[in-house]
A and B are shown apart, each in its own frame.
Chain A
């Protein structure tokens, strides 16, 4: 069967700190994949990259056969550099044209000269920003491209009009025409690039977390992120958000479709609560639940979006033996539904009982992978992490 998730050489660094290095992994439908590693190994960072909260530095993520991480390839990066250089050259030629056109009649000559230089300086900064893929440079580009377009239209004066290049007797048209004919189309081209989807990919835009959720990936969090002031049922209903359609008109007019949708949502939310065993607490505020119950609620909320892949970040943290047994049963039930599960856990008993395949991370690098038995006896893993724990993990 085709993998639901395929991660290829994923890397993430924060400034100088390298959190993930060339991670590659796979998950198939109905498979439970475990991620283990010492604290700080980069496990949650990996989840955040998958869910779209962090922007990976390099690598590829394919979810259900679709690339969710548009990358700036070498060719595209080179293309951007070229565009930036052309933009700068156009700016350099623009300056004397600007002066020639406006200086002769201006009351404030010095100021105008300085203004021209100032604008050139900003163009220069923009080029720097462009070369480094900075978002602010892209947004500001638009303004400059628009102005270049306007100038080029304005300056396509007849070649023998009385305007001369500043300080000379050369008709300005000889310079403004070539400039206009290049700057105009170039501006239009680049403006289109900025808005078409390819442009968005070119400049490093990526899928937002909610778009990834819509594709079928749901997650829980290491530090519980519930909506504590809302009721348990409401929390799950929010999880069901993407499966609903009602918008402002539906809500305001209380159409039949909207009312039916609300009833169905409520029913399904109660179903999921029953699935995780929290049905009696449906109307209590989420903040009033016990710790273990809160973790189960997070799982119910994630399941309500009917995901194909579920990311569980330390679901057994803080649970006692009975609760974690219950959790194991719950995750097995989830697997029965055909949902692939990616699970980070420190509790070895839970991990060994659940995982079909385990990946081991240390300092952001993949140091081992295999079945639980392979991992248990892998010397590198024991050295990095399990230590004496291996002896205590029971089958």
Chain B
């Protein structure tokens, strides 16, 4: 048994790290997939909300001195509001416009927000000062041989699982969840059935952005590096995860996130760490080329 552990400790540690990262990607991916489900738009600016979450939490904790968990909750709320505002300002006026126009708007918003953050916070990488964070994060929760699991990782994993569970229950069991599913299948009919489509869409953005912002805080904490362009890289990876799982499917985004996180960490460990980001791009391109409906997703047919 010890032999096996010795052989596999690198692999198991990679697995642990990969699952943690995967959880974060899943959080972001879920935001993409939900928005795509209801308005068939890839919200490029979603990565920026993630980045905003990281920066806000940092500002609240390191500059304004708030206790960490208070900042955590506050940031999530602000991100949710921000998502609603984003939809209202940028996407709602273009509901009836051709796809290309909405796509370009999304990209424009993404670039705008990245540079806004650049202007406000500067391009230097920010880190949390050690004293501002709860001590427990830096202690090890469990270890076996060379494999360690820190409390921070436990925190990330448990929050992720909790959120996924709540989201799943919301979509399956509550009224608003059913409304979301209805709108994603057929907007016009849902409206005729008395569902306030715009409200449902705002709600979707709120939830997606809250989770995205949460992911931002967690990543900022985990890697202790916060910079304005972190959003767009993570955004693309999360989008890759969403596509891998099947765009429009929430369980798919969760699965895709997990798979991509593990694939990225293992790839970076065994193949090459410079092409770390490239692995996500490659996975995404491969999935789009070979199986665009992803692992779980459904095909959409155009009426001729």
Binding site for B on A (CB under 8 A): 14, 44, 48, 53-54, 108-111, 114, 136, 139-140, 221
Contact = CB atoms under 8 A, between A and B. Distances in A.
Interface string B285-304: 00001110000000001001
Nearest to A140: B290
A111 B290 contact: no
Contacts of A108: 7, 10-11, 270
A14 B302 CA distance: 12
8 contacts: A14-B301, A108-B7, A110-B4, A110-B8, A111-B8, A111-B11, A114-B11, A139-B289
B90 to A, nearest CB: 26
Among B8, B270, B301, B304, residue most surrounded by chain A Cβ atoms (within 10 Å): B304
Given A14-B301, A48-B304, A110 B7 contact: yes
A14 B270 CA distance: 44
A53 B11 CA distance: 49
Contacts of A14: 301
Contacts of A221: 304
In the A-B complex, the 8 residue pairs with the smallest Cβ-Cβ separation, listed nearest first, are A110-B8, A136-B290, A136-B291, A111-B11, A110-B7, A109-B7, A48-B304, A53-B304
Interface string B84-105: 0000000000000000000000
A128 to B, nearest CB: 13
A374 to B, nearest CB: 31
Contacts of B290: 136, 139-140
B177 to A, nearest CB: 25
Given A48-B304, A108-B11, 9 more contacts: A44-B304, A53-B304, A54-B304, A108-B7, A108-B270, A110-B8, A111-B11, A136-B290, A140-B290
A311 B291 CA distance: 34
Interface in B256-270: 270
B300 to A, nearest CB: 12
Contacts of A136: 290-291
Contacts of A114: 11
Contacts of B289: 139
A108 B304 CA distance: 54
Interface of B: 4, 7-8, 10-11, 270, 289-291, 301, 304
Nearest to B4: A110
A149 to B, nearest CB: 20
Nearest to A139: B290
Contacts of B11: 108, 110-111, 114
Among B4, B8, B301, residue most surrounded by chain A Cβ atoms (within 10 Å): B8
Contacts of B10: 108, 111
B137 to A, nearest CB: 29
Contacts of A54: 304
Contacts of B4: 110
Contacts of A110: 4, 7-8, 11
Contacts of A111: 8, 10-11, 270
B3 to A, nearest CB: 9
A12 B4 CA distance: 55
Nearest to A222: B304
Contacts of A109: 7
Contacts of A48: 304
A44 B289 CA distance: 30
Contacts of B7: 108-110
A221 B302 CA distance: 14
A48 B10 CA distance: 56
A80 to B, nearest CB: 19
A113 to B, nearest CB: 10
A41 to B, nearest CB: 16
A90 to B, nearest CB: 21
A53 B7 CA distance: 55
B14 to A, nearest CB: 9
A109 B290 CA distance: 31
B202 to A, nearest CB: 32
Contacts of B301: 14
A165 to B, nearest CB: 21
A56 to B, nearest CB: 14
Contacts of B291: 136
B160 to A, nearest CB: 24
Among A108, A110, A139, residue most surrounded by chain B Cβ atoms (within 10 Å): A110
A140 B291 CA distance: 10
A114 B290 CA distance: 24
A40 B246 CA distance: 30
Nearest to A54: B304
A108 B8 CA distance: 7
A53 B289 CA distance: 21
A108 B10 CA distance: 9
A99 B91 CA distance: 54
Contacts of A140: 290
A139 B288 CA distance: 13
A137 to B, nearest CB: 9
A14 B289 CA distance: 23
A92 to B, nearest CB: 23
Contacts of B304: 44, 48, 53-54, 221
A111 B270 CA distance: 10
A139 B292 CA distance: 13
A17 to B, nearest CB: 11
A114 B4 CA distance: 13
Nearest to A47: B304
A129 to B, nearest CB: 9
